[in-house]
Chains A and B, each alone.
Chain A
Amino acid sequence: MNPMATAVDTLRDTPFTIGGRTFHSRLMVGTGKYRDNDTMVRAIDASGAEIVTVAVRRVDLDRTRETGVLYHLDPKRYFLLANTAGCATAEDAVRYARLAREAGFNEFVKLEVIGDQETLLPDVQGLLEAAKILVKDGFRVLAYTNEDLVTALRLEDAGCTAVMPLASPIGSGLGLLNPYSVRTIKRRLHVPVVVDAGVGTASDACLTMEQGVDGILMNTALAAAQDPVAMAHAMRLAVDAGRTAHLAGRMPRREVAVPSSPLEGMLD
């Protein structure tokens, strides 16, 4: 079976390729904030995701608990995408990215440079600065950014492998606040556009994929759901549904009704 086939065999999707690697699933998931590791493992499995994000942190020297995520996730099964979450300066983000690469899985990094602690919105100046350094250093940079077209274009010019505009702030679950901007970014960029952050439930994921973006990355929507495994399954379906609807091409919006049943043959 062609893994790129959608539910309808008349539609053929293009492969989802990022930085020369091809994936079947357009859903990428995080590994943070799950109530326990077993739930995380089952949710990620149910999501069908192949790319999973991880963070770089100090080892707990007292080892009161085992915090290493690789004790629970098989790095042979999943493509590990390290992030620079929590970094507030370009310098910190570069430092974290280099530590992550040294762990030896791949040269991909999800670059975050946070500019405001309340909204966790990106510092676009620091982001561009870090992106340039990391690209020069051989990284494949997936840049978490806001839904601003000009920043997205500059990140692409800087050599980023993918640009990741937010749907809404990290962990907010507010859904896709600006479909127009995300659609515009997708239309104007050549590199993959993956919406990262803000999706709260399946309809958000579906609506986001309907904009034509290449994929979605989410974490809290699964981890903070009452049943993360069931929500992961719903997200998998929603991403497929939204992608397929995008490929199918929606009907035009009209301000007036158009009857679906014949006007002829009505009784006197």
Chain B
Amino acid sequence: MNDTIDITVNGQHRAVSPGVTLLELLASLALDPRAVVVEHNRTIVRRPALGDVRIAPGDAVELVHFVGGG
């Protein structure tokens, strides 16, 4: 049995523990959930639900925020 699963975060391949939640993923990346917006397989996951959504193999997660722009 594998002890990690492969997912994609912001276009980069990552290995995470099976059953990890989005909130735990943010914590492992040292990201404040209040400072990012999370998209999981093209669906936006609101902050209160981040701890409820578990990541499965092959999932695509996008973590975005505001940057300078015109």
Contacts and interface: CB of A to CB of B under 8 A. Distances in A.
Nearest to B9: A61
Given A98-B44, A99-B64, A102-B46, A59 B69 contact: no
A99 B44 contact: yes
Contacts of B65: 56-57, 59, 67-68, 70, 103
Interface residues of B, number: 23
A55 B66 contact: yes
A54 B66 contact: yes
B64 A53 contact: no
Interface stretch (B16-24, B35-43, B51-59): B35-43
A30 B70 contact: yes
A102 B37 contact: yes
B48 interface: no
- Dominant secondary structure at the A interface: mixed
Most chain B CB inside 10 Å of its own CB: which residue of A80, A83, A102, A217? A102
A63 B29 CA distance: 10
B19 to A, nearest CB: 21
Contacts of B30: 63
Interface residues of A, number: 36
A122 B44 CA distance: 27
27 contacts: A30-B68, A30-B70, A32-B67, A32-B69, A34-B68, A54-B67, A55-B67, A55-B68, A55-B70, A56-B65, A57-B64, A57-B65, A58-B10, A59-B64, A61-B10, A61-B29, A68-B66, A69-B67, A70-B65, A83-B70, A85-B70, A99-B39, A99-B44, A99-B62, A100-B37, A100-B66, A219-B70
Interface of A: 30-34, 40, 53-59, 61, 63, 67-70, 80, 82-83, 85, 95, 98-100, 102-103, 170-171, 197, 217-220
